[in-house]
Structure 1
Amino acid sequence: MLDACVLANHGVCDLFLRLAERPRLYSPKWSRRILRETTRTHKERLNWPDDLADHWQSEVEKHFPEALVDEADCLEPILVNDHKDRHVLATTIRAGAATIVTFNLRDFTPQSLAPWDIHAVHPADYLITLHTISPDVVVAKLGDMARDRNLSAEAYLSRLAKSVPAFASQVAQAVGWSLDLPNGQ
């Protein structure tokens, strides 16, 4: 299950979506509520024009229809994770997914997830797992993303390092790239 905070981070979201294309390394899941929350973040916090944010949501829905999971509001009252993110856990349960990918790990404590045999992971850790499983595919997708932006793969990975530094470091080390990180990170 991809949380809205992951989908709202454009570079990280783009990588996750590309890794869900063929050859598919994982099967993304989300609800309409998660997509609406992402679109609202795009508009209100990231100052995307309304038409761009709405277009993003319609494109995601069009290209990944299998990712959409019906919401399970009826489960929310019995959940004990952060109240603002109970809908994410409820949707994860409904989807039968084992993992919530989120930057907000504090909202999904191990104790709140244990009864459901679900765990929350940082996007960097999930990406590291995907890279470990299929390094060639991950590096190829990064190369495609860099070309789309007229950047070198190293430069693009350096940009991603701002959000997912552990992942960027692993990939750079594995392929012999150097990261250009601000402030000596």
Structure 2
Amino acid sequence: MYSVVLDACVLFPNILRDTVLTLAEAELFRPLWSEAILDEVRRNVIAKRKVDPALFDRTLALMNASFDGAMVDDWQGIVVGLDLPDPDDRHVLAAAIAGGAQAVVTFNLADFPAKQLEPHHVDAVHPDTFLLDQLDLAPARVLDALVRQAQRFRKPAMDLSGLLARLERCDVPEFAEEVRRIAL
């Protein structure tokens, strides 16, 4: 199965995290992350969204429980030999290598140049492109997953159109527009 490391910037916006993980639940791909990635997500969510740390820890625990094998271990020794424009991103590529991922899904494409990723057979993919690829590969499954995701929202209730509007604000506008074109 196609495996991807989800960078912290993809797991930070709640609605985008929920969407990506909903598609992973539909077995469209295998999500991967590391403790370092989840720590970064946790720090940012708590600082920027003023979320109760205990509540967000529960979210992270549910993610790990729901996706057996998503947590990549033994990546630390790989970091030393990696060269990226931002040394703080080396742990993400190390997790991809250790986890056998084919891609890193990230908004920060400039931090993951193809030249540095090619020797490891890893690509960097923007979330909008990644979601569009999933839609191209399995449109019915993606649409079904999105409808199920929207139906989970109760307060306030949300339909597919509302979900797409929120995803658009999460910087995946082409995906939102393509789903609208197909489904609405």
TM exceeds 0.5?
yes
Quote the residue 1:93 is aligned against. Answer: 97
Deviations 1:107-155, CA, capped at 9 Å, x for gaps: 1111221221211011111110111111111111111122222122112
CA separation in 2, counterparts of 1:72 and 1:64? 19
Amino acid at match of 2:180: A
Deviations 1:60-112, CA, capped at 9 Å, x for gaps: 11111211111412221221112011000011011111100011111111122
Cα shift at 1:168 = 0.5
The answer to whether the aligner puts 1:66 opposite 2:69 as a matched pair is: yes
Structure 1: 4+ residue segments shifted above 3 A: none
Q: How many residues align?
A: 175
Q: TM-score normalized by structure 1?
A: 0.90
Q: Report 1:123-134 matches (<5 A).
A: 123-134=127-138
Computed over aligned residues only, the root mean square deviation of the Cα atoms, in angstroms, reads: 1.2
* 2:167 maps to which of 160, 163, 178: 160
* 1:7 maps to which of 2, 7, 11: 11
CA separation in 2, counterparts of 1:96 and 1:153? 33
* 1:48 maps to which of 28, 33, 51: 51
Quote the residue 2:125 is aligned against. Answer: 121
- SS of the residue 1:28 aligns to: strand
Amino acid at match of 2:112: F
The answer to whether the aligner puts 1:173 opposite 2:176 as a matched pair is: no
Q: TM-score normalized by structure 2?
A: 0.90
Deviations 1:19-43, CA, capped at 9 Å, x for gaps: 111x311011111111111111111
